[in-house]
Amino acid sequence: MNQRIRPAQPSDGPALFAAWSSLRSHNAAIDRRIVPAPVTEQEFLEAFSQILQRRAGATFVAQCEDRLAGFLTGSIEANQPDRLPERHATIGYLYVEPFCRRQGVGRELFTAFARWAGSFDGVDHFEMPVLALDQGAEAFWKALGFTPFIQRLWAPVSAGENPG
Ligand SMILES: CC(C)(COP(=O)(O)OP(=O)(O)OC[C@H]1O[C@@H](n2cnc3c(N)ncnc32)[C@H](O)[C@@H]1OP(=O)(O)O)[C@@H](O)C(=O)NCCC(=O)NCCS
């Protein structure tokens, strides 16, 4: 397959909005507790242009036969103030279109981002939330060497009212 990974550019905005919308639908279908907030394409494009200007953030796209095949967006973020090291890399969104999954695109997007993140002083690891019910994502991250770390728990405010 003729695919290549490159940093995103402003002209990718509309295709990225479509891919990001597909990712949000995917996540909502995996777990009904994920309720996507309404975001118009115009709002997305405005936020995207600001994201592209951030020095501590990066977005990579995978192109396959002139089509957007996937994207990854991530950043360098501060750790909890009482835990070292002070910063780590995090991945906000990763999505590969169904037509080109299991062909190494996700891994290549991650490798490009990891190379970018590794150029920041003092950044030597990743931390990020992943949907616990997404078995495909779990298998992907495991294949890349990720292991569970801090768990995010969820409960309605009425939790604990009905002793079971
Ligand atoms: C998860 C996702 C990004 C993987 O992208 P991809 O391009 O298909 O991944 P790769 O081809 O680079 O896979 C690398 C390895 O990960 C593992 N893997 C990837 N997807 C897998 C799946 N669905 N089931 C089991 N293992 C999987 C395999 O070990 C694979 O190597 P192999 O194909 O040689 O066996 C893609 O399936 C996707 O976009 N899913 C929907 C959104 C999502 O889950 N995003 C990540 C949330 S944080």
Residue 68 lies in a domain: yes
Task: Return d(Cα 152, Cα 130) in angstroms, integer.
Answer: 9
Separation of CA 161 and ligand 1 centre (Å): 40
Residue written as tokens 């709002």? 43
Separation of CA 156 and ligand 1 centre (Å): 31
Query: 3-class secondary structure for 2-41?
Result: CEEEEECCHHHHHHHHHHHHHHHHHHHHHCCCCCCCCCCH
Nearest residue to 23 (alpha-carbon basis) of 71, 74, 67, 91: 71
Task: Return d(Cα 85, Cα 139) in angstroms, integer.
Answer: 27
52 phi and psi, to 5 degrees?
A: -65, -20
Atom of ligand 1 nearest to the CA of 97: 39
Residue 106 lies in a domain: yes
Pocket flag, ligand 1, residue 24 (CB < 6 Å):
no
Residue 123 lies in a domain: yes
Domain that holds residue 35: 3-143
Atom of ligand 1 nearest to the CA of 95: 39
Whole-number pLDDT of residue 112: 98
Whole-number pLDDT of residue 66: 87
Polymer length in residues for the chain: 164
Nearest CA to ligand 1 atom 33: 102
Whole-number pLDDT of residue 3: 65
**Tens digit of each residue's pLDDT, the chain (164 residues):** 556 999 999 999 999 999 999 999 999 999 999 999 999 999 999 999 999 999 999 999 999 888 999 999 999 999 999 999 999 999 999 999 999 999 999 999 999 999 999 999 999 999 999 999 999 999 999 999 999 999 999 999 999 997 66
Q: Output the domain CATH number for residue 119.
A: 3.40.630.30
Pocket flag, ligand 1, residue 101 (CB < 6 Å):
yes
| 128 contacts 72 by C-beta, under 8 angstroms | no
93 phi and psi, to 5 degrees?
A: -140, 140
Q: Is the dihedral of CA 120, 123, 125, 127 positive or negative?
A: negative
The structural domain count of the chain equals: 1
Nearest CA to ligand 1 atom 34: 102
